[in-house]
Structure 1
Amino acid sequence: MRTYDNPVIPGFHPDPSVCRVGDDYYLVCSSFEYFPGLPIFHSRDLVHWEQIGNVLDRPEQLPLPLPGATASRGLYAPTIRHHDGRFWVINTNVSDGGNYLVTAERPEGPWSDPVWLDLPGIDPDLAWEEDGTCWCAFTVPGIQLARIDPVKGEVLEGPFPTWSGTGLTWPEAPHLYRIGDWWYLLIAEGGTERGHSVSIARARSPRGPWEGAPANPVLSHGGTDRPVQSTGHGDLVTAPDGSWWMLLLGTRPRGFSPNFHVLGRETFLTPVAWDEDGWPVVTPVAEHHPAPGGAWHPLPAPPARDDFDAPVLAPHWISPYARPEGSWSLAENPGRLTLTATGPTLDRPGHTFVGRRQQHHDCRISARLDPGTGRGGLSVRLDEAHHYDLEAGAGEVLVIARIGPLRQVMARRPVPPGPLTLTLTVRTADLVPPSPELAGTDLLGPDTIACWLGDPDTPGAEPLAELDGRYLSTEVAAGFTGRVIGMYATEGSVAFDWFDYLPAS
């Protein structure tokens, strides 16, 4: 039997929403404070996904830097739908403006400038009746519903309260569907932590009255020892063969109690059946499942190395809050990514950083760079108060740990002028060993982050420091995002010849 591995989109890709057009599936995720915003993926089989762009990839589509944005603010919980020959994405910018719609003829874009809606709350959804009536469900808290004109952004009726779950905390993430003779309202509740769950109700009309499923919540891993936790914020989709599936978020915590998840909330896939009474039966999310039927469409693995030879950055590269034109260039030094400092520290917004999501628990990241007269390097980032930096400049290499209010230089080595290779390794085995200074704290964290001068597989490479990964976890830092690993400049300009991201074999 053919199987697939979960998560189907690993790393910080939360709040998935999916639609099918013919044999093609399209999926969007939250991006919070990062630009470009709202990554969009394509698949032919629900298992293999390729990022084809970002919905918000132009500064004119959203204020930049996001006004008032801090870590884990910005863009929350998009919904993607296809109607009347167009793609629609509705989303909330919690840092400025509220709820808005963008549209495109093709999923890879270009996407329109936002049409703003005079509706409060977060997590907006779109659903159409056969006569073209458009409904928007959203969270205020509690779930509300409004009839809207999605082209003009006008609210035509409402909003008014609708079904808000079973009484668990934080009912949110509504999705409204017409399936057969029923309207179904799928929501998340229980909070986005370990108690996260999915519940559903149905009615003959979008206006209600709503009847909750007898088995609610129809999905929850709370209180279990399953390796996938925090399962919720789901969206339903049907395959061409008539089978039903749910894309949803979950986490993979590791380490000693309370367990730590470092990759953020990821996108998982699980089968859905329907019982004889017309209610969905959602299979608990496992790391391995029988695969969907139909053709199998494996995708080529993305290249491990980016040599920065393309005229534009690949869509997986992201930056916190903004990416001003003067902060980066692929043309200034052809074949290199040149970063120019816009701020003197990674400890405050406004710095220059280009990174990618960490997607594997065990991986190795290397970069070849020439700091010149500048200063920069590699950073593992959760937010401004939680990051580990491997930095070159002024004839030395430093390892810097920023954990909450504490900032400490963990290692310092002199280096000659010119290009050098920096490497970070993230591993879940052979964790930070016990020591007199750290008695009793060994093997408690989820992973170890080791910093190297050079390539660890090459003679002459020098280990600089090993850092406990638990301090770059959501359980320590709080928030909604996961680790992003990338390149930065905090002084002058730094040229990066290449960047490698390799999952551990």
Structure 2
Amino acid sequence: MNDRAGREAPPDSTAAVPVPASFETAPNPVVRGLSPDPSACRVGGDYFLATSTLEFWPGIPIRHSTDLVHWTVIGHAVTRPAQYRRDRRPGPLRLYAPTLRHHSGRFYLTCTNVAPGQGNFLLTADDPAGPWSDATWIDADAFDPSLNFDGESVLYTRRTVVAGKEGSGPVVQAELDVDSGNLLTPTVPITPHEAGYCSNDIEGPHIYRIGQWWYLLAAEGGTWKGHMVTVARATSPWGPFVGYEHNPVLTHRHRVGHPIQSTGHAELVDDVKGNWWALFLGTRHHGPKPWHHLGREVFLAPVTWSEDGWPQIGERGTVELEHQLRQPLPAPRGEWPKQHTPWTSGWCTREAPLDGLDINAASPEDMRIALPASPRTLSQDGPVAAAFLSQQEPTATFHATLDALPAYPAHAGIAVYASSGHYYLLTVHTGRDGSWLRLTRQVGDMRQVTSMPAPASAGLEMRISGTLDRYSFHVRTADADAEQAWLEVGSGQTSLLSAETSQSYSGARFCVYANGAATPFQRVGSTNCL
């Protein structure tokens, strides 16, 4: 793929090309833990990937890969208010559905801050690791903006929302001045209906010029188990786009009980050998469990082409955790220079970090996090004295040590967090009557708090053990040797922190948390087990 509008046409038929029964397998997901709405581009033999971050900061991680399987965060596109707030001041952020493109030596990223009063914006960078420019604001209508560089023109494509109607309106498009953010033409529909090609909800549109055709790839059916990918094509980027008669080209809506669900929101990318691939979101389910709690993750599947030039993703529109390939993966090469910070290691905060937060990795085994004094709680939206780390596997542990216990009413501890209304939190404080542990289980409007005396000690080591069934909370004294037994404080059902229960697009995150006093944590870390 070059960085201009056109790409080489796909082969007329994959059946006409002799291929082995299988080259290897693609282990899915290729990005684990919460990483929805993938968008990717290729520059030479390097691939770059952007995903949504919702209300968490820094915003929009940029990942690099040379083989489409192993991805490394090299930086973030959104790191300051001027990149996501129209007034350039700190405030709410809700970053959804970025699109990442490269053209004439420069990277472009469009995204939506769906927080009130914001909208769709554009960032640019010479290096995808950053720094990225301040935001150029485009419009405030709907979301899911996308870009295509068609020669001298830049096509700006997005979904619409029709007030008072189910689903969404048509996909619309205009020419964009990327320097000013001004639309050079009116937005016009490029899909024939207010609905999609297979459902009443079409979103996440991307257009590609491949050979003689313009292809429109879009998500439909909502982002839950009815999710799907459809494709349409036209001889002009302005349509009319005619849908493929065998749509959808990717979906698991008919695979009840399959461990992968909600497949959709796809991006097409080619490799240097002319093979095509799709990166898309999906959710992992386990056995008959109808829920998921790790969030929407990034999956990979090969793309084949029909004799008359239509793409098909995976095996007749389906994908597996170990997906058998009939084309070789790109060969791995060197790494891209990255920013070595706690943020590129996966740490994040809810909205911009409070003043006084300090995350310091003295060594891989000794992460130190100092939280500032704050009265805010996990149940409140917005910034909070906490540092979060995404859970990547169902079986995982998280641990942190308090060498000094906060004095009542201040308290501090560790949590597993799905949303402001769904979390389990273990805290400790010390007072005149000794040190006390408190386990809070918040599930919607139901709140259960249990307390017990803490082990006699100046400090405390705290641990969360997560499985498919439960999160269990344990403590022991900070000066304990490796053989000392852990004291179980309590546990909570994993399913009650699922996306289905919380009715959110989020996934489980571990965190250290403090309320009321500045609190240093020592030896903070997490282990995820495949």
TM-score by length of 2: 0.84
CA change 1:68–1:44 in 2 (3 A) is closer
* Cα displacement (A) at 1:312: 5.7
Q: Which residue of 1 aligns with 2:172?
A: 144
Q: What is the one-letter code of the residue matched to 2:102?
A: H
* Cα displacement (A) at 1:344: 4.1
| Secondary structure at 1:318 match in 2 | strand
Of 294, 302, 310, 1:279 maps to 310
TM-score by length of 1: 0.88
Matches of residues 375-394 of structure 1 in structure 2 within 5 Å? 375-394=411-430
CA change 1:456–1:245 in 2 (3 A) is farther
Q: What is the one-letter code of the residue matched to 2:268?
A: L
Q: Which residue of 1 aligns with 2:165?
A: none
Deviates more, 1:19-28 or 1:142-151: 142-151
Q: Distance in 1 between matches of 2:347 and 2:198?
A: 40
Q: Distance in 2 between matches of 1:277 and 1:252?
A: 34
* Cα displacement (A) at 1:297: 5.3
CA change 1:62–1:157 in 2 (3 A) is same
Q: Percent identity?
A: 37
Q: Which residue of 2 aligns with 1:443?
A: none
Of 32, 35, 42, 2:57 maps to 35
Q: Which residue of 2 aligns with 1:340?
A: 372
Q: What is the one-letter code of the residue matched to 1:230?
A: S
Q: Which residue of 2 aligns with 1:107?
A: 128
Q: Distance in 2 between matches of 1:65 and 1:375?
A: 30
Deviates more, 1:388-397 or 1:12-21: 388-397
Q: Distance in 2 between matches of 1:90 and 1:500?
A: 33
Deviates more, 1:92-101 or 1:372-381: 372-381
Q: Distance in 1 between matches of 2:103 and 2:205?
A: 18
* Cα displacement (A) at 1:67: 4.3
Q: What is the one-letter code of the residue matched to 1:105?
A: D
Q: Deviations over 1:291-313 (max 9, x none)?
A: 643423598xxxxxxxxxx8765
Q: Which residue of 2 aligns with 1:370?
A: 403
Q: Which residue of 2 aligns with 1:494?
A: 519
Of 354, 358, 378, 2:387 maps to 354
Deviates more, 1:263-272 or 1:320-329: 320-329
Matches of residues 202-217 of structure 1 in structure 2 within 5 Å? 202-217=233-248
Q: What is the one-letter code of the residue matched to 2:351?
A: Y
* Cα displacement (A) at 1:459: 2.3
Q: Distance in 1 between matches of 2:437 and 2:387?
A: 20
Q: Is the 8 A contact 1:397 1:415 kept in 2?
A: no
Q: Is the 8 A contact 1:341 1:351 kept in 2?
A: no
- Residue 194 in structure 1 maps to residue 222 in structure 2: no
* Cα displacement (A) at 1:315: 4.7
Q: Distance in 2 between matches of 1:15 and 1:152?
A: 26
Deviates more, 1:281-290 or 1:31-40: 281-290
* Cα displacement (A) at 1:3: 2.1
CA change 1:278–1:66 in 2 (3 A) is farther
Q: Which ranges of structure 1 fall in alignment gaps of 5 or more residues?
A: 300-309, 429-446
Q: Distance in 2 between matches of 1:23 and 1:456?
A: 49
Q: Distance in 2 between matches of 1:59 and 1:157?
A: 29
* Cα displacement (A) at 1:326: 2.7
Q: Which residue of 2 aligns with 1:116?
A: 137
- Residue 246 in structure 1 maps to residue 278 in structure 2: yes
Q: Distance in 2 between matches of 1:83 and 1:119?
A: 25
Q: Which residue of 2 aligns with 1:437?
A: none
Of 83, 86, 92, 1:61 maps to 83
CA change 1:139–1:335 in 2 (3 A) is closer
Deviates more, 1:363-372 or 1:494-503: 363-372
* Cα displacement (A) at 1:2: 2.9
Q: Distance in 2 between matches of 1:65 and 1:465?
A: 41
Q: What is the one-letter code of the residue matched to 1:43?
A: S
- Residue 178 in structure 1 maps to residue 209 in structure 2: yes
Q: Deviations over 1:157-197 (max 9, x none)?
A: 12011115314032000001110111111000011110100
Matches of residues 199-348 of structure 1 in structure 2 within 5 Å? 199-225=230-256, 226-254=258-286, 259-283=290-314, 284-290=318-324, 292-296=328-332, 313-328=343-358, 330=360, 336-348=368-380
| Secondary structure at 1:117 match in 2 | strand
